[in-house]
Structure 1
Amino acid sequence: MMRGISRLYWSLVLICFAFAPIVEASSVRLKELARIEGVRENSLFGYGLVVGLAGTGDTHRSKATLQSIANTLQQFGISLDSDEIASRNVAAVTLTAKLPPFANSGDMIDVNVSSMGDARSLVGGTLLLAPLKAVNGKIYAVAQGQVSVGGFSYDLNGNVVQKNHPTVGVIPSGASVERGLSTDLVGADGHINVILNQPDFTTASRIKNAINKTLGPGKARAVHAGKISVVAPAGEYDLVDYLTRIENSVIEPDRIATVVVNERTGTVVAGGDVTIDNVTISHGNIKVVISTDYQVSQPVFVREPGRGVSTVVVPDTSIDIEESVAEPVRLSSGASIADLVTALRQIKTSTRDVITILQLIKTAGALHAQLVIQ
């Protein structure tokens, strides 16, 4: 069974690598490779209370929860000391959200809810009205609503049944934006900056040329590998239309030859442009088998055997060493990873050994690619 699974796995790997050499770099729009400086999300955070829990909330050990309940009741004219409150239906939670760019007052955003105390579950809870602040301390949204939890936890007499994380939930569209963010797309120098997702000198140069071809000569300048500065429009174009022309410019991005190796799953992924120099690989294994048989030594049965005479268990250990002959693999200059995998498959090399061999080829300087090990 395992041999069949291994054969299937290697077949899939070889199919993937076999098609890799014929894949060419495709042209994509600039908006898939870069973003306009200033267009980004902003993190919001807050603190609140989730009520309506069925006895799965914070215990009396969570003093902050009891104090928060007392403070909330005081807003409704009910004065109680935190020591006078005993409830397992309330949980203190932290709130996190992302304020998207160009958000306006009245927009709805999702809110993540996470327990802070010793609550067992947030299933069935409702978040009370809570403000969401940015890092500058200003309130940008308010959150409230039913908490949706993708799990559960039930216990009785010390027996616990749990699925996923019942102390973390989400409120879809649970926060209303109260204050939008002003996004400055044009800098003080009158330029719009295009920021690459993956900085690369060749790609930056191609982006500059593509923008100059679209907008006119001299409009764009590559500042460095991750930034292109574009002259802002001088009234002849609306800013939105101007940015639309920029982000829809067609680019053929350059890429670094990379081999990605995941040691935990034994997965190797490589592009078709990865090549290997002249290299010889010798692969062999040593198999050691230690087996022990236990023999029973019985004394001669006589009527009076005497003192110290008894049955004895005698171990009989044997050690066998089996060393397979090292099978060499030779690859000529310009060979691809697909050629290497095919050759190693012929000598029945395991996936783990392939990963080790790739690391050694890289160390030897014969692998012309960046080796990323996860």
Structure 2
Amino acid sequence: MIRLFLLLALLAAPAHAERIKDIARFAGVRANALTGYGVVVGLSGTGDQNLEFTIQSLKSATARLGVLIPPGIAPQLKNAAAVMITAELPPFAKPGQRLDVTVSALGQAKSLRGGTLLLAPMQGADGEVYALAQGNLAVGGFGAEGKDGSKIVVGTPSSGRIPGGASVERAVASPFAGDAALRLDLTEQDFSAARAVTQTINRAMGSIATTDDAATISIRAPADTAARMALAAQIESLEVRLAPPAARVIVNARTGTVVIGGEVRILPSAVAHGNLTVRITENQQASQPGAFGGGRTAVTQQSTVEAAEAPGRMQMFQPGARLGDIVDAVNALGAAPGDLVAILEALKAAGALRAELVVI
């Protein structure tokens, strides 16, 4: 049975201070996804067996090293596996820096434990090679299998990581040092937040910032790279006072988690809640035959079904009820978190819930 939990957000203050670096980032300062294809060798019989594309990959890898496998000979690949390699190229990464890579089995490999990734190129979205990956895998999961087909798997042995397993070979050009103006992008689109950030920057550094929209702020910056870096560092350290966030109620339908924001309001309304309980009791009775009847003892089943409905209690919400009032009302009704979801949906349908109800 899935347990349901209720998480209650703290009451929000009228305004609170946040560092700009925590709510926004400069355009162009972003990571780039890298992907590659490779072959892992050195497995202890848990590889891809006889997959054709793995055989082709192994032949290609050995051919680059000067070893040619004769035509018609298919190597047994119990100790090798085809894999996909993924990594993130951080902003301002330079050639020679190391990246952590994740290696995942592509074919029938049961485990990559003990394997070594052969040298593999990693490409960006533009098809260019930006890093080369190679190294020994660290695999957290493991699996075991018996001859009768029974098996046990803990974790994910078909995936592993290579800390520092990729070397950056090409840097990504960043528009941070080339554009005439710096653009600051908010992590969440909000008109009041964009206006507050613009005013904070202008008060601290003069009229250098303008609001483009609810998510972007343009900042005039000097052409010198060092001066731009210093300006960006100063802007990130500024603190801005933000208005309370929008009123939201978040419901996770899979786990039963309910998060109620501090700005949620309830209009005047009344809620009644009651539970119907059904109880089924099974009793077994033995039936004995007569002394000279020649019969056999039989067991009979008797079922008793009872239904009881708890009396419904009504709770009144006063105008402008806040988070604490909602919690008190739910506790007074004796509602479980699962019942709370139904109550909130009913309040929203009735127009009494002044908040956005988000189901994830």
Relative to the length of structure 2, the TM-score reads: 0.89
Alignment RMSD (CA, Å): 2.9
Q: Which has the higher contact order (CA 8 A, sep 6+)?
A: 2
Q: 2:213 aligns with which of 224, 233, 250?
A: 224
Give the whole-Å Cα distance in 2 for the aligned partners of 1:214 and 1:116: 54
Query: Would you say 1:96 and 2:82 are equivalent positions?
Result: no
1:370 corresponds to which of 343, 356, 359: 356
Q: CA deviation at 1:371?
A: 1.7
Letter in 2 for 1:171: I
Deviations 1:32-73 (A, max 9, x none): 11111111111111111111111111101x111111111122
Alignment of 1:144-293 (within 5 A): 144-157=134-147, 158-185=149-176, 188=179, 190-217=180-207, 219-233=208-222, 238-254=227-243, 255-291=245-281
**How far apart are the structure 2 equivalents of 1:320 and 1:135?**
65
Residues 66 and 26 from structure 1, CA distance in 2 versus in 1: closer, same or farther, beyond 3 angstroms?
Answer: same
Separation in 1 of the partners of 2:341 and 2:293?
68
CA apart distance, 1:313: 8.2
User: SS state of the match for residue 95, structure 2?
Assistant: coil
Note the alpha carbon deviations across 1:221-242, whole angstroms, 9 max, x for none.
1111111111122669811111
Q: Residues 82 and 356 (structure 1 numbering): CA distance in 2 closer, same or farther, change over 3 Å?
A: farther
Contact 1:263 1:355 in 2 (8 A): no
Q: How far apart, in 2, do the equivalents of 1:303 and 1:37 lie?
A: 95
SS at match of 1:185: helix
The separation in 2 between residues aligned to 1:234 and 1:70, in whole angstroms, is 52
Aligned-pair CA distance for 1:22: 6.4
Q: Which residue of the partner structure matches residue 132 of structure 2?
A: 142
Give the Cα–Cα distance (whole angstroms) in 1 for the partners of residues 163 and 129 of structure 2.
Answer: 19
Q: Which residue pairs with 2:313 in the alignment?
A: 327
| Cα gap change, 1:123 to 1:316, in 2 (>3 Å) | closer
With over 3 angstroms needed to count, the CA separation of the structure-2 counterparts of 1:159 and 1:321, relative to structure 1, is closer
Cα displacement (A) at 1:182: 1.3
Name stretches of at least 5 consecutive residues in structure 2 with no aligned partner: none
CA contact (8 A) 2:122 2:132 kept: yes
Structure 2 residue aligned with 1:360:
346
TM-score (norm 1): 0.86
The alignment partner of 2:212 has SS state of strand
Count of matched residue pairs: 356
Q: 1:154 to 1:319 in 2, by over 3 A?
A: closer
C-alpha distance 46-333 of structure 1, shift in aligned 2 (>3 A): same
1:172 counterpart SS class: strand
CA separation in 1, counterparts of 2:75 and 2:12? Answer: 70
Gaps of 5+ in 1: none
Deviation, 1:268, is 2.2
